[in-house]
Amino acid sequence: MAEITERILIVGGVAGGASCAARLRRVNEKAEIIIFDKGPFVSFASCGLPYFVGQVIAEEKDLLIATPQLFANRFNIQVRLHHEVISIDRANRVLEVKNLESGQISREKYTALVLSPGSSANLPLIPGIDLSGIFTLRTIGDSRKIKEWLVLKKVKKAAVIGAGFIGLETVENLVKLGLEVSLIEMLPQVMPNLDPDIAMRLQERLNSKGVSLHLGETVTRFAINNTGNNLSVHTRSGHVLECDLVILATGVLPEVSLARAAGLQIGELGGIRVTDRLQTSDSHIWAVGDAIEFRDFITGEWCLTPLAGPASRQGRIAADVIAGREARFRGTQGTMVCEVLGLTVASTGQTEKLLKNLNVDYEKVYLFPGHHAGYFPGAKQLSMKLLFSPIDGKILGAQAVGEEGVDKRIDVISLAIQKGGTVYDLEEAELCYAPQFGAAKDPVNLAGMIAANTLRGDSPLTHWQSLVKSDLYIVDVREPAEFAFGHVEGAVNIPLGNLRKRLNELPSEKELAVYCGVGQRSYYATRILYQNGFKVRNISGGITAYRIQRQIPA
Ligand code: FAD
């Protein structure tokens, strides 16, 4: 047998670490590969944990994607569980590892080291946070404890603190278990990584399903209530919520204690700094997953992306680099999807609020198409928002929410972004179509067409926010019955079908802003008016967008 000259050690054996190890073996049959994980499992599905709590995933064993035996037999990789790496001696390329069961400490030499230690819960300093009945949901052990508590205390009321995707998935599962759930979020919207106009539909759904939403609210303390049977959650505005279970979903921080102590470079956002070859500031150490910070694909700014997809891909790329292959990580754009009580929400790239913060010039369109052809039964309305450069049409980001067909639209746009695509590419994209799946002009094509129309000057756009202080002459081109049912203050109603005959009623010296239900009829109106010499803008998303905007707190 050939002598082993390479010894590759991996810290952390879940998303990034496990995928790195398995790929390493596929590209390097000779090296000794060892994974250390301080926990009791290797390669488990953390993304399934909320659904295990909600009994959608029935068996704990279904969360285990691989076992140490599988790694040994299939890949000739050693997995050492309950082994915590406690320090890195970079000068001698040695790890100090503690066996958490025996207490023994060993020294392990490496030729290459991969860090994939993940993240840790970002726990706010709230008095009472250590009380029984308050949990985080990060590991299989956590989910076990929550399930036991649910049974033991016959839990009826729960409070979830934090409305990011883990908080929302937890809410969904607790509601499905029949619990009364309160959701408390410090920011004025759920899902803070989305724009509020997209998050609004989630909030409506949560409200309609009986979730008690407390937005823009902070928890000031937890306490055992007077009767001593359950907990009370006290908030800054004076609310006291009684419950039997609290789940903290207040975000994560990159786990960098080992890297920091070893003197590896840590970035401004608190993640391990790596190159596009996923190499740390030490040329023998690579890092992947939640623990690193990397350049955003669109803005080039440093960012943290604690998601399983990037972690797995980075693990694979780091393995290729270690094996001497030409591989680079091209960056992340935060593509995510989440289900909330029958609604799917997904996003890719930048949000409007981030673009504003970064002073990036952008334009946006809203659209509300059916998820498939309207003539086929069961079409569900999507709410979509596309952000793009007004200069060259480069796509900057997209968000969508709806009951069906959300993820595929965002996935298509995500890949378009990664290929440097523009709204003109979306306009022309060839996508599969049969009436039960999409439309001959798919929502992705429509988003591109609306955006391209505005960039070409065919249908200049405006937005409700821009109208607040402008003196545009607002025309509602819906039918009188729709107008009577509710319209924007000050708008004049000229239905699209009568527009050509009633042009003389419109002021030729003023700029017109036209709207309808969602923006389609007003687009046709814009074309008529434009070709008749009027200066005109279509209000993106029509009255549907207006109603959403009105609900967003200023
Ligand atoms: P992890 O997978 O967290 O693995 C890190 C491992 O390192 C841990 O097992 C830890 O024990 C070990 N470790 C740390 N320090 C040491 C040490 N010093 N010595 C030895 N071992 C150590 N992402 C999505 O994209 N979609 C989802 O739907 C989704 N849902 C999620 C739901 C929940 C409840 C959670 C908690 C996360 C979810 N995520 C989801 C995030 C995703 O799981 C993480 O982004 C991904 O697991 C990160 O991979 P990683 O390898 O960086 O870290």
State pLDDT tens for residues 154-202. 999 999 999 999 999 999 999 999 999 999 999 999 999 999 999 999 9
Instruction: Determine the pLDDT at residue 470.
Output: 75
Q: Is pLDDT above 70 for 3?
A: no
Please tell me the distance between residue 138's alpha carbon and the centre of ligand 1 in angstroms.
Answer: 8
| CB-ligand 1 contact for 201 (6 Å cutoff) | no
| CB-ligand 1 contact for 475 (6 Å cutoff) | no
Instruction: Please report the DSSP string for 372-392 in residue order.
Output: S-TTSTT--B-EEEEEE-TTT
Quote the CA–CA distance of 360 and 133 in Å, as a whole number. 45
Ligand 1 atom nearest to CA at 289: 52
Residue 109 CB: number of other CB atoms within 10 A? 11
| CB-ligand 1 contact for 11 (6 Å cutoff) | yes
Instruction: Determine the pLDDT at residue 225.
Output: 84
- Taking each helix axis as running N to C, give the angle between helix 406-418 and helix 443-455, from 0 to 180 degrees, rounded to the nearest 10: 50
Cβ(298)–Cβ(125) under 8 Å? Answer: no
**147, amino acid identity:** K
Instruction: Determine the pLDDT at residue 5.
Output: 85
| CB-ligand 1 contact for 9 (6 Å cutoff) | no
| CB-ligand 1 contact for 36 (6 Å cutoff) | yes
Taking only the tens place, the pLDDT of each residue in 204-230 is 999 999 999 999 999 999 999 877 679
| CB-ligand 1 contact for 85 (6 Å cutoff) | yes
Question: Is residue 487 classed as helix, strand or coil in its secondary structure?
Answer: coil
Quote the CA–CA distance of 289 and 314 in Å, as a whole number. 7
Q: CA nearest 309: which of 282, 336, 276?
A: 336
Of all protein residues, whose CA lies closest to atom 49 belonging to ligand 1? Answer: 15
Of all protein residues, whose CA lies closest to atom 45 belonging to ligand 1? Answer: 307
Of all protein residues, whose CA lies closest to atom 14 belonging to ligand 1? Answer: 117
| CB-ligand 1 contact for 97 (6 Å cutoff) | no
Quote the CA–CA distance of 496 and 514 in Å, as a whole number. 10
Taking only the tens place, the pLDDT of each residue in 49-77 is 999 999 999 999 999 999 999 999 999 99
Q: CA nearest 517: which of 476, 473, 474?
A: 476
Token match 């067909």: residue? 405
Instruction: Determine the pLDDT at residue 379.
Output: 96
Ligand 1 atom nearest to CA at 137: 34
Ligand 1 atom nearest to CA at 18: 51
Tell me which DSSP letter residue 139 carries.
S
Of all protein residues, whose CA lies closest to atom 15 belonging to ligand 1? Answer: 117
- Report the residue among 9, 19, 34, 38 best suited for mutation to probe ligand 1: largest number of ligand atoms under 8 A from its CB: 38
Instruction: Determine the pLDDT at residue 176.
Output: 97
CA distance to 62, 71, 319, 369, per residue, from 30 (Å) = 32, 15, 14, 54
Token duo for residue 244: 């039997």
Instruction: Give percent above pLDDT 70 in the chain.
Output: 99
pLDDT-derived band at 266, boundaries 50, 70, 90 = very high
Cβ(255)–Cβ(227) under 8 Å? Answer: no
| CB-ligand 1 contact for 46 (6 Å cutoff) | yes
Distance of CA 52 to the CA centre of its chain: 20
Ligand 1 atom nearest to CA at 257: 18
Q: For all residues of the chain together, what is the average pLDDT?
A: 96
Which residues share a beta bridge with 139? none
Q: Is 47 a catalytic residue?
A: yes
Q: Is pLDDT above 50 for 1?
A: no
Of all protein residues, whose CA lies closest to atom 6 belonging to ligand 1? Answer: 12
Taking only the tens place, the pLDDT of each residue in 457-495 is 999 999 998 887 678 999 999 999 999 999 999 999 999
Contact residues for 209 (Cβ-Cβ < 8 A; gap 6+): 175, 341
- Report the residue among 52, 115, 165, 307 best suited for mutation to probe ligand 1: largest number of ligand atoms under 8 A from its CB: 307
Cβ(289)–Cβ(311) under 8 Å? Answer: yes
Instruction: Determine the pLDDT at residue 64.
Output: 94
Catalytic residue among 20, 47, 243, 338: 47
Quote the CA–CA distance of 297 and 416 in Å, as a whole number. 12
**Whats the size of the chain, residue-wise?**
554
Q: Is pLDDT above 90 for 369?
A: yes
- Phi and psi, residue 430, nearest 5°: -90, 115
Cβ(315)–Cβ(288) under 8 Å? Answer: yes
Q: CA nearest 381: which of 389, 370, 394, 391?
A: 370
Q: What is the mean pLDDT of residues 377-383?
A: 96
**55, amino acid identity:** Q
Quote the CA–CA distance of 411 and 348 in Å, as a whole number. 8
pLDDT-derived band at 554, boundaries 50, 70, 90 = low
| CB-ligand 1 contact for 258 (6 Å cutoff) | yes
Please tell me the distance between residue 321's alpha carbon and the centre of ligand 1 in angstroms.
Answer: 22
Cβ(150)–Cβ(128) under 8 Å? Answer: no
Question: Is residue 438 classed as helix, strand or coil in its secondary structure?
Answer: coil
Q: CA nearest 304: which of 313, 312, 296, 316?
A: 296
Instruction: Determine the pLDDT at residue 553.
Output: 76
Please tell me the distance between residue 289's alpha carbon and the centre of ligand 1 in angstroms.
Answer: 8
Please tell me the distance between residue 244's alpha carbon and the centre of ligand 1 in angstroms.
Answer: 27
Taking only the tens place, the pLDDT of each residue in 271-317 is 999 999 999 999 999 999 999 999 998 999 999 999 999 999 999 99
Question: Is residue 463 classed as helix, strand or coil in its secondary structure?
Answer: coil
Distance of CA 288 to the CA centre of its chain: 19
Residue 134 CB: number of other CB atoms within 10 A? 21
| CB-ligand 1 contact for 24 (6 Å cutoff) | no
Please tell me the distance between residue 119's alpha carbon and the centre of ligand 1 in angstroms.
Answer: 6
Print the SS3 string covering 160-174.
EECCCHHHHHHHHHH
Question: What is the pTM (predicted TM-score) of this model?
Answer: 0.94
- Report the residue among 37, 51, 140, 250 best suited for mutation to probe ligand 1: largest number of ligand atoms under 8 A from its CB: 37
Helices (H), 91-139: none
Cβ(319)–Cβ(354) under 8 Å? Answer: no
CA within 13 Å, CB half, 130: 1
* Distance in Å from the first CA to the final CA of the chain: 71
pLDDT-derived band at 552, boundaries 50, 70, 90 = confident
Ligand 1 atom nearest to CA at 12: 7
Please tell me the distance between residue 411's alpha carbon and the centre of ligand 1 in angstroms.
Answer: 23
Q: Is pLDDT above 80 for 541?
A: yes
Please tell me the distance between residue 120's alpha carbon and the centre of ligand 1 in angstroms.
Answer: 9
CA distance to 33, 37, 421, per residue, from 105 (Å) = 19, 14, 52
Instruction: Determine the pLDDT at residue 4.
Output: 63
CA distance to 152, 453, 485, 542, per residue, from 534 (Å) = 70, 17, 28, 19
Cβ(395)–Cβ(422) under 8 Å? Answer: yes
Please tell me the distance between residue 14's alpha carbon and the centre of ligand 1 in angstroms.
Answer: 6
Please tell me the distance between residue 312's alpha carbon and the centre of ligand 1 in angstroms.
Answer: 10
- Report the residue among 46, 146, 335 best suited for mutation to probe ligand 1: largest number of ligand atoms under 8 A from its CB: 46
